């Protein structure tokens, strides 16, 4: 098939492009390179079935494809708070433009949503039926509410135009090709540990997260996209293993052999206290669950960042 991946040069997008090419598809990677990097897709450039287009999804796109994966949007607080208005436009206008394209082509379309639609949850772990507790006017709202609105648009197109939609709610994911300066907890901790710098923990480090290795997540994407039309989602994709932020820091120090110390800073506004997916629906409908343990995934991620920092090729 001819497959369009928006945000295809990003962390998740580049892994998805690679996997789709390995399955024999023609892949059109669309990215405006705000957070995506040509380095992430450089190894794919000589593949005759891979094409790159610099484009911002807030503007309409006219191409001919069979499937669309809509991953375009900065996903870390550092990046999405840099230009919050543009972040909301990317989620909302981008969804409208990609849904319009899918409608014209009668193509199946996948939306990369997020666990942030649950906000600072009062239900734990979070099932898809939980509507969330989100601050609509906070500093994270451009991302949280943008993604919630995108889900609304997807379901309205599904109901109004009988469009074939798939929505995945992505929980914390990590692995090679994360941006070293994206402010996310795994990349932060690994880079600080490898540099021998203090590891920065916000709050007391007792807030919890669940960490899914990127290969497991991409497998979930593909299974959801291949599922029957009536399986629309939203479906949680993430690792149900739950760790405190302090536990993660201590694991990274142990695996890197770093002498870094832990330092504590004030907790940012609206930072969720708990985050853990209920993946019962993914298990039952897709036969999917994560297979890669945290230490195994962290070791692969540490090797990637170690090589990156050893070269001078860090943006």
Query: Quick check: is 262 in a domain?
Result: no
pLDDT over threshold 70, residue 270: no
The reply to whether 250 falls in a domain is no
Is 66 contained in some domain?
Answer: yes
Q: Is 143 a catalytic residue?
A: yes
Instruction: Determine which one of 143, 157, 174, 213 is catalytic.
Output: 143
CA–CA distance, 152 with 154 (Å, rounded to integer): 5
**Is 127 inside a domain boundary?**
yes
Residue 217 has pLDDT above 70, yes or no: yes
When pLDDT is averaged across residues 21-35 and rounded to a whole number, the result is: 96
Indicate the number of domains in the chain.
1
Residue at 77 is within a domain: yes
268/37 Cα distance (integer angstroms): 27
Flag whether 30 is in a domain.
yes
pTM of the full structure: 0.94
Write out pLDDT tens, residues 105-131. Answer: 999 999 999 999 999 889 999 999 999
Domain ranges, residue 169: 2-173+213-238+275-291
Q: What is the CATH number of the domain that holds 147?
A: 3.40.50.720
Instruction: Note the pLDDT of residue 268.
Output: 76
What are the CA-CA distances from residue 296 to residues 177, 208, 220 (Å)?
16, 20, 19
Closest CA to 181 of 78, 93, 272: 78
On whether residue 59 sits in a domain, the answer given is yes
What are the distances in angstroms from CA 244 to CA 21, 77, 101, 202?
36, 19, 42, 12
Cβ atoms within 10 Å of 296's Cβ, excluding its own: 11
In a domain, 151, yes or no: yes
């Amino acid at each position: 098939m001819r497959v369009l991946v928006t945000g295809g040069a990003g962390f998740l997008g580049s892994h998805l492009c690679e996997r789709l090419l390995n399955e024999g598809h023609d892949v059109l990677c669309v990215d405006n390179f705000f957070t995506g990097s040509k380095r992430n897709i450089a190894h794919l450039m000589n593949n005759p079935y891979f094409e790159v287009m610099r484009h911002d999804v807030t503007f309409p796109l006219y191409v001919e494809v069979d499937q669309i994966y809509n991953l375009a949007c900065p996903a870390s607080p550092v990046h999405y708070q840099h230009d919050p208005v543009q972040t909301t436009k990317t989620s909302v206008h981008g969804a409208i433009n990609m849904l319009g394209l899918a409608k014209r082509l009668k193509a199946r379309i996948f939306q990369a949503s997020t666990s942030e639609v649950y906000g600072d949850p009062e239900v734990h772990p979070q099932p898809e039926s939980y509507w969330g507790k989100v601050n609509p006017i906070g500093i994270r709202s451009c991302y949280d509410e943008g993604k919630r609105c995108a889900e609304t648009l997807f379901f309205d197109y599904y109901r109004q135009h009988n469009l074939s939609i798939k929505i995945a709610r992505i929980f914390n994911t990590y692995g090679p090709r994360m941006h070293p300066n994206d402010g996310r907890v795994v990349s932060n901790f690994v880079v600080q540990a490898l540099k021998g710098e203090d590891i920065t923990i916000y709050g007391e480090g007792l807030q919890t997260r669940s960490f899914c290795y990127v290969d497991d997540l991409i497998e979930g994407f593909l299974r959801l996209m291949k599922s029957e039309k009536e399986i629309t989602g939203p479906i949680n994709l993430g690792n149900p293993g739950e760790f405190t932020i302090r536990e993660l820091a201590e694991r990274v120090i142990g695996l890197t052999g770093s002498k870094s110390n832990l330092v504590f800073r004030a907790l940012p506004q609206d930072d969720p206290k708990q985050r853990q997916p209920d993946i019962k629906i993914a298990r039952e409908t897709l036969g999917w669950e994560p297979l890669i343990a945290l230490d195994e995934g962290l070791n692969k991620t540490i090797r990637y960042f170690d090589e990156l920092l050893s070269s001078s090729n860090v943006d």
